[in-house]
Chain A
Amino acid sequence: MTDQSDRRINRRSVLAGGTAALLPLTVKADPLVVPDWSRVPGARLTPYGQPSPREALTTRSVAPLFGDIAPGIEAAFTPLERLEGVITPNGLHFARTHGGVPDIDPSQHRLLVHGKVGRNLTFSMEALARYPLVTRTCFIECSGNSFQHSLSQPRQMELGLTHGLFSTAEWTGVPLSILLEEAQIDPSATWLLAEGADSDAMSRSLPVAKAVKDCFVALYQNGERLRPEQGYPIRLIVPGWQGNLHIKWLRRLKAMDGPSHTRDETSRYSLLMSDGTAREFPFEMPVKSLIARPSYGQTLPGSGRYEISGLAWTGSGRIDGVEISIDGGKSWVSTRLDATPQEYIPVRFRYSWTWNGRPTILQSRARDTQGNLQPSHAQWKALYHPTQRFHCNAIQSWSIDEEGEIENVFL
């Protein structure tokens, strides 16, 4: 007890060594006045609450990926640098589309379960809502997230644009195990084909072992029905695995005795190695952490104390710890976690840092319970073919100059 508090006091005095950290106390605040908004009754309530117009910058960046030729192939990036906690508000959840957002009438939509089953079944949306539901908080990360981070030169852009094809929500839906059992899935069926009702009929293969372990057909996101961009009326949740597997606008599950090797698991979302071979079905999203504050686009107004805050997650087990370096990777210290890490739930890490005003580099690195540790940028690049862009979990480094300006650098 005494030992610990002594250490804390010691560290604080060392970190606060300069006078800068104490400066704010000597600045005199303006006298307090009662503002106009407290003198008259305010606005009426609205049926669906909206964010403050003063937070209008907290939006997603939407990037068309093929310009005018295929306007419905887009990516909307979650503004990670502007959010706190771990849950992403529904309207800010990332989205990636390959054939636009279909306008589905739930009263006509059906989920078909067929293939190697005792009986082909269709489920209406009203029927699915009557099944026993499970609720689970989990992240979804696009297999192509951090694409910019996989390049050989760093790009200067906000954190969300670099790493924001990643979001977290509490999802509620029907376990696949119940639906597969009802259809009397054949024991010889080891894989499912999951297919969406969007115009490109997105399809992916999913092992039945994973499907019955923890996958479900989500109807609700953070308590409300799914939004169209997130797969309304139903999407697949495949906790911890490639985002592309979380098929939106789900219409079909086909039981099969092997994978279908669809375009999006061979041509896309496989990992090319330097020898020209490609790793197919790299299902689990690798361990990753990001410092969101401070990050590119923010400026440190001067030396003094700052709270470093960021997110860590893994598709393999649980987060086992997040370390931070305030000296460009020469030394690492552990951070404080907001919560006990759980499977597939990102964890917020924090570290109270006193900046001495000199240039430095901030980094974070996470470890998971499967023994995976985030690689440096150079180590990650060495693992793959130079043009390989998927599953980049290299350490993110923020270089801070004397002016407190922040730059993205690769180490």
Chain B
Amino acid sequence: MSSSKAVVILCLLALPAWAAGPNLGVPVSPNDIKAWDIDIAPNGDGLPPGRGNAIQGADLYAQACRSCHGKTGQAGAADELVGGVGSLATPDAERTAGSFWPYAPKLFDYIRRAMPWDHPGSLSNDQVYAVTAWILAQNGIIAPDTVMDSDRLPKVRMPNRGGFFVEPRDRY
């Protein structure tokens, strides 16, 4: 960590004189970037107010997701969202939102930014919490009546939380 910080500072200091920019960036207030500042950190930072559970999510899933992801989150035309927990070390590894994703808040992040594929950004925050809860419950990770919100979603421990590693040369 500290060595990469040193590199950054060095590179910034080492900018040749010609590389000084014309300073044409226009300051923008934190309030005015809200519509774009949509990413959720793996620890849940950035999660908005709102709440929902899998029971509420089931209806929404049937309306907004099932046509592409299948009735139960499996065997649809698009990515499987359910199943495969414990399968990764077997020859038939199934990488799904339940079996492979390491951080539950990133499900909220991705669904809100990109899904439903044909109408991204159309769900309310409550709806995103509810459908996220449905995917987690369908995978047996939470109970169907457990409410997900900005406090509880980061506390969900995904089955593959410890499943990723970074090689030394890729560490920054």
Using a CB–CB distance below 8 Å, which chain A residues touch chain B?
Answer: 66-67, 69-70, 73, 98-99, 112-114, 119-124, 127-128, 130-132, 174-175, 177-183, 185, 187-191, 193, 195, 199-201, 203, 207-210, 212-213, 251-252, 254, 256, 258, 260-263, 266-267, 270, 272, 274-284, 385-387
CB pairs A–B below 8 angstroms (12 shown): A70-B78, A112-B36, A127-B26, A131-B21, A177-B11, A177-B19, A201-B114, A261-B106, A262-B106, A267-B101, A275-B89, A279-B165
Most buried by A among B1, B21, B41: B21
- Chain B neighbourhood of A128, CB < 8 A: 24
User: Which B residue's beta carbon lies closest to that of A113?
Assistant: B25
Verify B100–A266 contact, CB threshold 8 A: yes
User: Which B residue's beta carbon lies closest to that of A203?
Assistant: B39
Verify B114–A179 contact, CB threshold 8 A: no
**Which of A127, A130, A175, A185 makes the CB contact (< 8 A) with B19?**
A175
Among B2-10, B56-64, B146-154, the one that faces the other chain is: B2-10
Verify A200–B24 contact, CB threshold 8 A: no
Verify A181–B36 contact, CB threshold 8 A: no
Most buried by B among A66, A123, A180, A260: A260
Verify A112–B28 contact, CB threshold 8 A: yes
- Chain B neighbourhood of A208, CB < 8 A: 4, 8, 172
Q: How many residues of B contact A (CB 8 A)?
A: 60
Verify B88–A266 contact, CB threshold 8 A: no
CA distance A284 to B4 in the complex (A): 17
Q: In whole Å, how far is A104's beta carbon from the nearest beta carbon of chain B?
A: 14
- Chain A neighbourhood of B25, CB < 8 A: 113, 119, 121-123, 127, 179, 182-183
Verify B36–A177 contact, CB threshold 8 A: no
How many A-B pairs with Cβ below 8 Å?
195
**Which of B12, B109, B120, B164 makes the CB contact (< 8 A) with A180?**
B12
Verify A212–B91 contact, CB threshold 8 A: no
Whether A121 contacts B28 in the complex (CB less than 8 A), given A132-B21, A193-B39, comes out as yes
Q: In whole Å, how far is B160's beta carbon from the nearest beta carbon of chain A?
A: 8
Q: In whole Å, how far is A223's beta carbon from the nearest beta carbon of chain B?
A: 21
Whether A209 contacts B7 in the complex (CB less than 8 A), given A131-B24, A181-B21, A281-B170, comes out as yes
Verify B24–A123 contact, CB threshold 8 A: yes
Q: In whole Å, how far is A128's beta carbon from the nearest beta carbon of chain B?
A: 8
- Chain B neighbourhood of A175, CB < 8 A: 19
**Which of A99, A114, A179, A263 makes the CB contact (< 8 A) with B33?**
A114
The answer to whether B49 has its CB under 8 Å from any CB of chain A is no
- Chain A neighbourhood of B30, CB < 8 A: 120
Using a CB–CB distance below 8 Å, which chain B residues touch chain A?
Answer: 1, 4-5, 7-9, 11-12, 15, 18-30, 33, 36-39, 41-42, 67-68, 77-78, 88-91, 93, 95, 97, 100-103, 106, 109-110, 113-114, 117-118, 120, 163-167, 169-170, 172
Q: In whole Å, how far is B90's beta carbon from the nearest beta carbon of chain A?
A: 8
* Sample of 19 more A-B contacts, CB < 8 Å, known A201-B113, A213-B11, A260-B41: A120-B27, A127-B22, A127-B25, A127-B26, A132-B19, A132-B20, A178-B15, A182-B21, A185-B12, A187-B8, A188-B5, A190-B172, A207-B172, A213-B7, A251-B36, A260-B106, A263-B109, A276-B93, A276-B163
Verify A181–B106 contact, CB threshold 8 A: no
- Chain B neighbourhood of A119, CB < 8 A: 25, 27
Verify A283–B170 contact, CB threshold 8 A: yes
CA distance A182 to B20 in the complex (A): 9
- Chain B neighbourhood of A387, CB < 8 A: 91, 93
User: Which B residue's beta carbon lies closest to that of A130?
Assistant: B22
**Which of A207, A266, A279 makes the CB contact (< 8 A) with B101?**
A266
CA distance A252 to B7 in the complex (A): 23
- Chain B neighbourhood of A123, CB < 8 A: 24-26
User: Which B residue's beta carbon lies closest to that of A73?
Assistant: B117
Verify B33–A120 contact, CB threshold 8 A: yes
User: Which A residue's beta carbon lies closest to that of B92?
Assistant: A387
Q: In whole Å, how far is A229's beta carbon from the nearest beta carbon of chain B?
A: 19
Most buried by A among B39, B42, B101: B39
User: Which A residue's beta carbon lies closest to that of B94?
Assistant: A387
CA distance A263 to B90 in the complex (A): 23
Verify B39–A260 contact, CB threshold 8 A: yes
- Chain B neighbourhood of A279, CB < 8 A: 164-167, 170
CA distance A67 to B76 in the complex (A): 12
User: Which B residue's beta carbon lies closest to that of A260?
Assistant: B39
Verify B109–A262 contact, CB threshold 8 A: yes
**Which of A120, A177, A262 makes the CB contact (< 8 A) with B12?**
A177
User: Which A residue's beta carbon lies closest to that of B7?
Assistant: A209
User: Which B residue's beta carbon lies closest to that of A212?
Assistant: B11
Q: In whole Å, how far is B154's beta carbon from the nearest beta carbon of chain A?
A: 13
- Chain A neighbourhood of B78, CB < 8 A: 66, 69-70
Verify B28–A122 contact, CB threshold 8 A: yes
**Which of B21, B38, B164 makes the CB contact (< 8 A) with A179?**
B21
- Chain A neighbourhood of B169, CB < 8 A: 284
CA distance A104 to B22 in the complex (A): 25
Verify A121–B27 contact, CB threshold 8 A: yes
CA distance A266 to B172 in the complex (A): 17
Q: In whole Å, how far is A297's beta carbon from the nearest beta carbon of chain B?
A: 31
